[in-house]
Structure 1
């Protein structure tokens, strides 16, 4: 067999043996490097393209400045002071050159010390975050730059996923490609969340320190910069000590970064920084805002821009109302108060003893029995039917349709005048009056004056067995104070943008004459007597007051409603579960709370005497055959079906003299239609004869 030799070299020698082939591992690793480099290159190209495309699609700088999430609503009291800010508060935009340097230095030191050197994403920060993750087993450092945080705040959410993080990197790189470092920092400082609803340094400075963002000092900057890490934990209004402690950490970081000296930091006493006091003591005003602000949907249904709502609430009166309810409500009981000005403006509203504990607004939502306060409608009906305060009535036991009302203490005074009967809240007299004028008429009177809840017409309704709302009762009493004119409660005077542009202004509703002014005068006479000598004596405040007490069975509810110097106020007290409250009577705690509030509310108003002079209509002074027709054009009234009738639009009644129906009676009435009231009632109501004294009871 021929032997195969190695080929000879040109010089005659033999060639060296071939080099050994690389191992499979080395070949695989080489390919991995090549493919890795290729994929890295493709990734870089893809990243560059993504950043370029994203940068081109980003909104312009001015658009980013004006963008915000959610609607900010600043609610102001009647004097312009801020009651509450709802939704995100962005404050005023502070341009970069007007942002205090200490604020810029503090934020960069604590959030992104290499801000000026990276391109939006900090590789060193990412590596450090990974190392901490490996050592501790948890993510303790996010490695997010200021630019990344801005991208997340504007375009993303806080979901902790790698996909969201990748998008955040792309957006951060794109932001720094499109905008300068100064512009990015300006956007960040005006948009970052500092807690308490405050977005941006101006909003934070105003909320926590009471001044504009352009006036931030070194210690304030340290506290504000420290809030970004955990706004709810370090908020000065939530935990002042935690905020100060975190501010100290920021100061030391600023020293490490060389933006302040150690001596400058040592000279700062963070505990002496003056912070705005928490408004927790003013929480009762939220009852009012909860009632008033939903009305914005009617006034500005399409609005979503930041607005300022200027309300009718008087801060001094609101504090007085809060103190009155908290100070006089019996232990375990709740209280509510509504106070209206002449035009219906809500001056104060308290819906409970503490809004934080219970935000249920008892002033406008709760329905409770008014007790004897309901007698307002009974006596108004009687006065409208022809009674006067001086007319004589008899306080004695009476039974109506099987119902027997009793006076407090089962005491009966016999023959007294109407004024005395009302002053001492005689139940038997109210029952007789309601029976005489008609329980339907009393219900119509209540509906006419603004009661919106269902009203029963059982005989016991004259003592307040129908549930009512506090605000409705106050509205009814306000109509009497207004000499019979309608009063509609309102709480918003105007709405403007944060730049002062007027979006809505309250327009007073046209008033209607609900009851004749002489009826209102007579009712005021009765209520003034009730305060002077009757059940409402505890409501006296050193000036004329007209009002009425109300107490329900077993002392479950206590009321006092009245007016003085143009202010009408109602107070209710009781338990939410409607259980009895020992000792609760309208003439006690509610009347005292009314007096405590009204002394403050009327302090700067002139003393006003009530007009109680009875200027009776001609038909009542000189009765004739048409006495009960009255003067139909004087005021609105309610017909037998409970409908409010406009006299100027009703059909004219044919003259009975020219009725040709042979079946009609001599007086022009169809024989099959019963007479609305008997002759005895008509005679007494028109003054032709006094009601005969009742026979003595056995």
Structure 2
């Protein structure tokens, strides 16, 4: 039986009959194809991500910069016009609006000022590109480890971007815009230029923008003359300008300055010993005046009409800081001591030069921080017997003389019977004695000699007292209304030969650095020199032997003045004339209560006259002794 042949395997077949093997490349291709396709897919994905990511980034950037301010405008118009008030010696006493000093160059500043700023605000300023990843990471770690936000990662450039271009709003978008602007600033300016812009634009409290303005406000010097600890104080202010203000929080400002000095030692700019010595030397000067705000408010009243435009104004005033300090101290001492025991809650004092009208001191109340109401210029009160000099002057202009006699007995006019207090009638006395002892019944008769209420009202208005005044005989007792400043100015002609000055507070002005006129002082003749001299002698008799005896300082040159007391002791006045080196001074004093509550037997010849004397005695002391007191 025949056998069936088994098929031969491919290996057993003859080579000629076996199919040819594919090339090596063909054998590898099937294995590589999936990998290539996968790589291609990743490459395509990467390209798409880059394209769409770029578009997204561009869109995000467009959204961020869409409402950013124009950089050219922001760099040139980040200032509002401000007003700086200087005392007579140049010390800054008040500011309004934004205060800007001189533009300072980095090369002109003491080296420790920029060093202090960089040590406490941005030590890597010269190494980063506007954003500081290292600083951000460090701040994030510190905040995470402490569990609270104690550090920020913003660079000096970012702070500058925020201050120049953006609002204080706290949001991611605003922070992103800040980063964009910081990068632009770094591209646009050099590091020195950025630091210079920052030093000239940063807000440092008290309305001061830039280190030069702050140096003048806080220390009374330009930034080029700052010492080490003063620079440390200014460098510490950007963190919290209001809370660290050396005027209002000197202890907090000194503590922050010590931190800045320590940071300067850490950066190697100072040794530890130098930092410690500088911290020990910190001595923040006191404010020039606690209560000069009333004077400042009055001095800049109606400023827009006097200085039209939008320029930065620097106004030199007539305020004498030593006289102001004496007035404030003596008024507070009286109100806190004998005034408190007598029910006196408020007081006002003004000191004016008789010949020029320049106001040298003004205290419009007890504490400006509690009440800005100015009792020197805004309160209209009855002057009482302090008005009588104008009644007697009207009689003199009608032909009477100080030595003429007038009856001092009781008088009745339509049922009105003015009293004389403790005065005992002598029948007749001279006009001089009637004024010296403030005899009411005699003053009513003198009013009639002067032409009555209408004539005296006309004379008072000629002397700058607008009223209103009553149209009856009670005017002789001072029942009209006056302000303390108007009454002080009205007394000035009795000291300067009959010329009425206009009260003034400004002596010089600069607008954007250029001198501008402030107006010439006006002097209006309101009576003859002879009658003014006669009235001055009559007022000297008031102090020498009348109701104002308490006003005369022992051993001093004779002073003149007049007391005034209103019904039920609601107001007590003393207006005095005193010699001074620069000419006669008129010092006006009012004591009372804002709600017209009666005081306890406080008359013009008691506490007001004593305050007048205390002010003169303190001013007579050498300046060093006054400061020590």
Aligning the two structures, in what range does the TM-score lie when normalised by the shorter sequence? Answer: 0.7 to 0.9
Q: Which has the higher contact order (CA 8 A, sep 6+)?
A: 2
Q: 1:302 aligns with which of 309, 313, 324?
A: 309
Q: In the aligned structure 1, how far is the partner of 2:47 from the partner of 2:146?
A: 35
RMSD: 3.8
- Return the offset for 1:28: 12
Does residue 540 (structure 1) correspond to residue 552 (structure 2)? The answer is yes
- Please list, as runs of the form range in 1=range in 2, the aligned pairs for 1:52-451 lying within 5 A after superposition: 58-59=71-72, 64=75, 67-126=77-136, 140-208=150-218, 211-216=221-226, 219-254=229-264, 256-257=266-267, 259-260=268-269, 263-264=271-272, 268-279=276-287, 282-305=289-312, 307-329=313-335, 330-331=339-340, 332-341=344-353, 342-409=355-422, 411-436=424-449, 437-451=451-465
Q: Deviations over 1:305-349 (max 9, x none)?
A: 2x3211222233223322332233412422112222212121222
Q: In the aligned structure 2, how far is the partner of 1:115 from the partner of 1:252?
A: 18
Q: Secondary structure at the match of 1:465?
A: coil
* Distance of aligned partners of 1:220 and 1:350 in 2 relative to their CA distance in 1, 3 Å threshold: closer
* Distance of aligned partners of 1:10 and 1:204 in 2 relative to their CA distance in 1, 3 Å threshold: farther
Q: Deviations over 1:331-384 (max 9, x none)?
A: 242211222221212122221223233322111111111111121222122222
Q: In the aligned structure 2, how far is the partner of 1:515 from the partner of 1:56?
A: 64
TM-score between the two structures when normalised by the length of structure 2: 0.82
Q: In the aligned structure 2, how far is the partner of 1:516 from the partner of 1:246?
A: 63
- Return the offset for 1:47: 7.6
Q: In the aligned structure 1, how far is the partner of 2:132 from the partner of 2:64?
A: 16
Q: Secondary structure at the match of 1:226?
A: helix
Q: Is the 8 A contact 1:80 1:310 kept in 2?
A: yes
Q: Is the 8 A contact 1:50 1:170 kept in 2?
A: no
Q: Which sections of structure 2, spanning at least 5 residues, go unmatched?
A: 1-18, 623-629
Q: Deviations over 1:476-524 (max 9, x none)?
A: 111233333322111111102464x211233122x43323444334333
Q: Is the 8 A contact 1:369 1:468 kept in 2?
A: yes
Q: Is the 8 A contact 2:311 2:512 kept in 1?
A: no
Q: Is the 8 A contact 1:337 1:572 kept in 2?
A: yes
Q: Is the 8 A contact 1:125 1:143 kept in 2?
A: yes
Q: In the aligned structure 2, how far is the partner of 1:334 from the partner of 1:429?
A: 32
Q: 1:575 aligns with which of 587, 593, 602?
A: 593
* Distance of aligned partners of 1:20 and 1:396 in 2 relative to their CA distance in 1, 3 Å threshold: same
Q: Secondary structure at the match of 1:193?
A: coil
Q: Which sections of structure 1, spanning at least 5 residues, go unmatched?
A: 1-7, 605-698
- Return the offset for 1:193: 2.3
Q: In the aligned structure 2, how far is the partner of 1:492 from the partner of 1:221?
A: 32
Bigger mean CA offset, 125-134 vs 234-243: 125-134
- Return the offset for 1:568: 1.9
Aligned residues: 585
* Distance of aligned partners of 1:316 and 1:213 in 2 relative to their CA distance in 1, 3 Å threshold: closer
* Distance of aligned partners of 1:449 and 1:29 in 2 relative to their CA distance in 1, 3 Å threshold: farther
Q: In the aligned structure 1, how far is the partner of 2:261 from the partner of 2:399?
A: 81
Q: Is the 8 A contact 1:299 1:504 kept in 2?
A: no
Q: Deviations over 1:603-662 (max 9, x none)?
A: 99xxxxxxxxxxxxxxxxxxxxxxxxxxxxxxxxxxxxxxxxxxxxxxxxxxxxxxxxxx
Q: Is the 8 A contact 2:319 2:505 kept in 1?
A: yes
Q: Is the 8 A contact 1:328 1:590 kept in 2?
A: no
Q: Deviations over 1:50-107 (max 9, x none)?
A: 99999996339xx94x755233433222333433344434333331233344433332
* Distance of aligned partners of 1:31 and 1:555 in 2 relative to their CA distance in 1, 3 Å threshold: farther
Q: Deviations over 1:133-167 (max 9, x none)?
A: 77778755442211111111112221112232232
Q: Is the 8 A contact 2:106 2:192 kept in 1?
A: yes
Q: Secondary structure at the match of 2:72?
A: coil
Q: In the aligned structure 2, how far is the partner of 1:455 from the partner of 1:56?
A: 59
Q: Is the 8 A contact 2:540 2:561 kept in 1?
A: yes
